[in-house]
Each structure stands twice: as C-alpha cells, then as structure tokens.
Amino acid sequence: MRIVSFEADGSPRLGVVSGDTVVDLAQAAPALPRALGALVQRDGGLAAAAAAAKAAAKAAVRPLDGLKYLPPIGNPGKIPCLGLNYADHAAEGGHQKPTYPSLFMRCSTSLVAHGAPILRPKCSVQLDYEAELAVVIGRRGRHVREADALAHVAGYACFNDASVRDYQRKTTQWTMGKNFDATGAFGPWFVSADELPPGAAGLAIRSRLNGEVMQNANTNDMLFPVAETIAILSEAMTLEAGDVIAMGTPAGVGHARKPPVWMKHGDLIEVEIEAVGVLRNPIRDEG
C-alpha cells in the first residue's frame, strides 16, 4: 500500500494511491487520523486505511496529478541519519570503510515535500544531493534484537539528504550542513513494508540531476542494513512509531567529482528507488 500525505482545503490529508488516483481517507474514513505518524501509531491503523480505500465511494477518489504533496511524516519525533553507509561513498570522500555507522540527526524544519523546491541557502553555493532510503518506524522499541528489528518497520520512502558541504565541514559534527531549512526532501509517498523485500534489500537506488544519472547503486550495498541499524540505534534511544531513519547514500555525490558539481537555481534533482517511487524536486535560491 502507498499512502500519500497532501494538502486540501487548507488542511493535511492522507490518501491511498492506486495507479494515477488517490482515495482521500478524510472522506472514505473520517475517523482515521489525517497524519501518517498518528496512523502508524494506531493499532491496526494501516489495515483500516487499506480496508477504507477498498470500500471507498467514487466521491472519495481524486486524481494524483495536481496534488499538493506534503512530506509523508511532517514532524517526526526523531530523524536519525547514517553517513558513510556505502563503502564506495566512504572511499570517494577519503574515509576508511567504517566498522560503526556515522550517525547524526536532522530536524523536522529541514524537511521538504515531493515537488516542492529544495532551497540553496544565501550563505553557500555548495548544495549537494544524496539519494537515500528512508525507513519509517511503526512500533516502539528499545534494545531491539537484529532478528526482531524488521517487525518494527512500518514502511519506506525516498529521501534526499541534500547537504551544504562547506557548513558540514566547519566542525567535526555535521549538524549544521545537514539541517538548513527545506533541504531534506522526503517522499513522494510512504510504501508499506509488506510491498517490498525484507529490509528493502536488493532495490536499485539512483539520483538524476537534470536527467543525468549521478548515483547508481543497490540497497544491498549498504554496510549497515536496516535491521542492523535499528538494533544499533535502539541500544541508545527508544525508537517510536513515526520516527524516520535516513539510511545513507552511495557514491557519485557532487562534492567528490572533479570539478565538484553543486546544485543551483533552476536544476531538477530526482531520487528513484525501485518499487518505491521517484522523489522529484526543483532547486531554488533562498529568498
């Protein structure tokens, strides 16, 4: 099942995607939450959404084209992110193959929806792309065993961990370069875990800048797969339903190219993950 978050009549909605149409759950099942975070937290929420979509009247169906997308989860409790989770990406940045993941956090104000512009900030031209798999947690857990970890996953989405490289490197901590407003593209929708292979393994992942393929890899190449990552994170923090994990990017990013390739005003960046979708965002200069 694919669930899209969108805005209609000035308020957030959830819709179940079917081909080129969407079942508006605000009409088909008005008692269900209108935010995906709340829906995955509700026991049986995803199943109820699927049943409502199947039984929906024609009046609840609208075209996917022209939808004003929102990030699948607009205000996650936590957004842990992995750096250097593909060996080739670590190598292109001059890093050794890690034995423990590089971890940092994003904040919700950095998120931006499918179709909305990623903003190149006034203070820098070094805006880079990073195609990533996003994991949406569906069940609370602490000290989760790797063998049990995938039972805590509600589903997946595409993510673009767009990074302001000079600010990322001002200190040994990456926080500043990873949290500029409207740089973390997330979407276009949520795909439930049962639609994909366990741990979203074996899926092609790529980015395209103005139609040119820049990154081309497979989620099998991740050094720390989804289950292992959940086990590692939950040693330290309680993962809660609605949290989002960004799983790191493969080689081909702009800063490692000679000369570097930075995203600029007027560009179009796409992140595509097999069986998940295509996340597409224009680049605009801030303000």
Last residue of a domain, one of 69, 89, 123: 69
Evaluated on CA atoms 120, 123, 124, 128, the torsion sign reads: negative
- 236 and 122 part of one domain: yes
pLDDT in tens, 49-80: 999 999 999 999 999 999 999 999 999 999 99
**pLDDT given for residue 87 in this prediction:** 83
- 102 and 183 part of one domain: yes
Q: Which of 240, 142, 163, 153 is nearest to 193 (CA)?
A: 153
Q: Which of 15, 12, 14 is nearest to 23 (CA)?
A: 15
The proportion of the chain whose per-residue pLDDT surpasses 90, expressed as a percent, equals 93
Judged by DSSP in three states, 185 sits in strand
- 274 and 167 part of one domain: yes
- 119 and 157 part of one domain: yes
Quick check: is 205 in a domain?
Answer: yes
Last residue of a domain, one of 69, 87, 120: 69
Quick check: is 74 in a domain?
Answer: no
Last residue of a domain, one of 51, 69, 87: 69
Interatomic CA distance for residues 6 and 14, integer angstroms:
6
pLDDT in tens, 207-225: 999 999 999 999 999 999 9
**pLDDT given for residue 267 in this prediction:** 98
Quick check: is 185 in a domain?
Answer: yes
Boundaries of domain holding 202? 79-285
**pLDDT given for residue 88 in this prediction:** 78
pLDDT in tens, 154-174: 999 999 999 999 999 999 899
- 94 and 64 part of one domain: no
Evaluated on CA atoms 151, 276, 109, 6, the torsion sign reads: negative
Within the chain, where are the H helices? Answer: 25-28, 36-41, 45-54, 87-92, 165-168, 226-236
- 167 and 135 part of one domain: yes
Contacts of 198 (CB under 8 A, 6+ apart): 150
Q: Which residue has the tokens 């890093």?
A: 95
- 47 and 109 part of one domain: no
User: In which band, very low, low, confident or very high, does the pLDDT at 263 lie, cut at 50, 70 and 90?
Assistant: very high
* Residue 97 clears pLDDT 90, i.e. is over it: no
Total number of domains constituting the chain: 2
- 83 and 50 part of one domain: no
**pLDDT given for residue 92 in this prediction:** 75
Note the pTM of the prediction, 2 decimals: 0.96
